[in-house]
Structure 1
Amino acid sequence: MKKLICLALLITSGVNAYAQKEFNKWAVELNGGFNKSMGPLTPDYFSPTLNVGHFDIGARHMINEYIGFKGNLGFGTFREAKGESPEFNSKYVAVTAEGVGNFGRMLNFESFTNKLGLLGHLGAGGGRLIYDESALYSNEPDYYYIITSGMTALYRITDRIALSGDISVYVNGRQTYTLDGNAYNDKVQPDPPTNPFVHATGTWWTGTLGLNFYIGKAEKHADWYLKPDKYLTKSELAEAVGEVKDMLNDSDSDGIPDYLDKEPSTPAGARVNSFGVTLDSDGDGTADHLDQCPFQPGPSATKGCPPSAEKTTEVDYLRKAINDGYVNLYYGFDSDKPLSYSVSAAQYIANFMKRNPGVSLEIKGFADELGPEDYNISLSERRAKSVFDLLIAAGIDKARLSYKGYGEDTSVDKSSDNARQMARRTSFEIK
């Protein structure tokens, strides 16, 4: 029994440790920094290498520690390189949906730091350009689709905030005009201009710094969450086994380990229930191990027996106690071996039948509602047969005994561990 409990506790501890997967999944991203319009640009038009003028805001959701997705809204302005290019001012808006990979976790950054992270992102969307100072096409907006990718470096400030640095590249598809808005995006310049309906592209990139704000009730976000090692170290396993051994101590030697024992100082020889509480079968205030008439209520002055004038035949009291289910043997899960604390019930039955040779008895086995019904019928019968064998070994003629498995006891709450323990029993009925 102790080995089974030890194994169950170890397995439960391992499952609980492995099952703690809670982490925050949402993050809000705020960034600002530089952009660079690479091309196409009208001949003799140039943009600065680092043009301050890009901002974006995003919401990111991580499915697990490794992958997620995000939506992003970016906006800014392309401008000329001062002193090197004619003036231009092109305002853009870009909306994208992107998949995210936590490369820091994939590459085991945690093996050398718990402060740095690395995210990769790839996705698509759409955008719009408005040319405020276009020499040719005057304020006519340009709409296009976008393919984007980038890398984001993270530095964890707290469990709620991380500093981010991002570099992203954007490719605009079917872009009608140059990024400065002063030429048609094709070798041929039609008049009036029309969209080329080909994959004419525009390319630009951004470099930003910003903050990630992590949202949720858990301690850490998926960016930084580390799943507990499902394998215990040798020292951790030794510690866990030591804790289980301490829990399985039985200080009063009543067959109930201390962690389940509600009465940890039971007197030696006392008969107890599955919670280690001393039994008083007739409810007269005298415990069974001190009661000379354990099934007939009486005052302590007569050692628990009723006064002579009130005595009734023992068989009547015992018949009621036994038939009403006060005398039972109990079993562990999926076991037909009685639990040690309840074996004394079989001795009570044997003593009673020896003093009352005209009595016959049916032994009735039961199981809880876990498992298939056919299996529980078989298990309950094996339990009844085990008590049948105990009584024969105690000297009771098998002709006076019968046994039967009744299967599942549906009268208990099957969601309660304690109730299911009480259902795993063998009861008796005097015939």
Structure 2
Amino acid sequence: MRKIVLSAILAVFSVPTLFAQDVAKDVEVKNENLGKGYNQWSIDINGGISKPTQPFTPDHFSDNTNLFHADLGARYMFNNKFGLKLDFGYDQFSAGDGSMEFDGQYFRTNIQGVANLGRIFNFEDWTKRVNLQVHAGPGYSFMTNDAFEGNDNMANFLVGLTGQIKLSERVAFNADFTMVNNISQSYTFDGAENAALGEDRGFDGTIFNASIGLSIYLGKNTTHADWYVEEKPTEKLAELENRIGELETMMDDSDKDGIVDHLDVEPNTIAGVAVDAKGRTIDTNQNGVPDELESYLTKTYGEGTTAANASQGALKELIDGGYVNIYFDTNSTTPSENSVSSINFLVKYLKANPAARADVIGFADEIGSTEYNNALSARRAESVKNILIAAGIDASRMDIVGNGEDTSVAKESKLARKIVRRVTFKIK
């Protein structure tokens, strides 16, 4: 018994040393933030039974369940793991069946260190309503008895374990078991002098308490330190990664016109054609042909040439030159909605030139195996061919070409890889 008590003393008095930095840091943060996100004060009220075990004179012993025990405490948590508690306890005990008669009362007050095991051992990973605390510390006590006059004054040291069930943010149910060891107890619990028994005046008295009660939480915050869970670094990292992902999505530029999609009014403009600040194709004369394309046609084929009446050679040059592309998301064979309209260039050319044929050429980026990407590029070309068939082009006029991986861009660049996940065309 003495070894157990001495070990508890060492543990409690080690708390200030072991956790001084933790508390100091907590106080520093409090000064900086002028408050915490959780309440720190509580009132603990318990009632139950007591059992004195020693010392007793022969033929004297107490009931196993002496009614009653009561204690009232005020607790302050430095953080959600460690705190201090000041409490007052009262025990009443009397002779058990077959014992010589006696009647005694025991009063104590203790200051205790509190360790919130639920937060130390991360109970929140499996429950948010069950908690466990250990408390221990020294105090003063005195005993009265009908067998002697006055008070038997002594010191004590207690250690206890408290289970908690959260009822609400303001109240928790407690079940506590505590062992109190008295120091310099002059009388036995039945009222005889210890000296008559030859007892020393060290740890020479033990009383156990079992009680239930409530913790009532005080403060303006929603949660008390008993239940407060700090946000884990991994959760913060995941949140940050999600935000970065959202920003990357917002910065996508599907039509590569220099205007990100979330600001682009026309996110499907022809690649290489000048746009205004809102991503709209610049068409000054409102004839449906972008000014830059119209200027190219005029310069190359003469004044008055438009997309509607340009030579078939001009349209063929645009198609064969890689200006007409259909883009895909990673590992997808469904064309991006923003680029489907580019298929119309080939539809118009093939309908205007019934003898012409076209290769439908698919590409993939370098992510994944070469064998897989070869097949993926062919499936993308097949998907676009099916759209052309649905648009009225005979399947016999188109050949599928799976060109596999396009290695012309940096494999590590997420944005560059968007450019090469495509299908393009070749007139023949």
Which TM-score applies when normalising by structure 1?
0.48
* Structure with the higher fraction of residues in helix conformation: 2
TM-score, with structure 2 as normaliser: 0.48
